Amino acid sequence: MIKPLMASGVDAVSASAVRTSASFLAHLALLWAGAQVAKVQNPLDAKTLFNTWASAAVAMALGMTLILQALHTGQANLVGIFSSLTPILLLPLLWGVYRRRPAWGAWGGAILAVSGAALILQA
Per residue in 70-119, pLDDT tens?
777 777 777 777 778 878 878 888 888 888 888 899 889 889 988 988 88
Cα 33-39-43 angle, rounded to 5 deg: 155
3-class DSSP state of 44: coil
Q: Name the percent of the chain lying above pLDDT 90.
A: 10
Checking if the pLDDT of 21 tops 70, the result is yes
pLDDT of residue 6: 64
Q: Do 120 and 78 form a contact (C-beta atoms < 8 A)?
A: no
pTM of the model: 0.53
Domain map of the chain by residue range?
2-122
Orientation of helix 76-89 relative to helix 104-122, angle to 10°: 160
Distance CA 69, CA 10 (A): 10
pLDDT of residue 74: 73
Q: Do 10 and 3 form a contact (C-beta atoms < 8 A)?
A: no
**More confidently predicted of 5 and 77:** 77
Checking if the pLDDT of 3 tops 70, the result is no
For 71-117, the three-class secondary structure string (H helix, E strand, C coil) is HHHCCHHHHHHHHHHHHHHCHHHHHHHHCCCCCHHHHHHHHHHHHHH
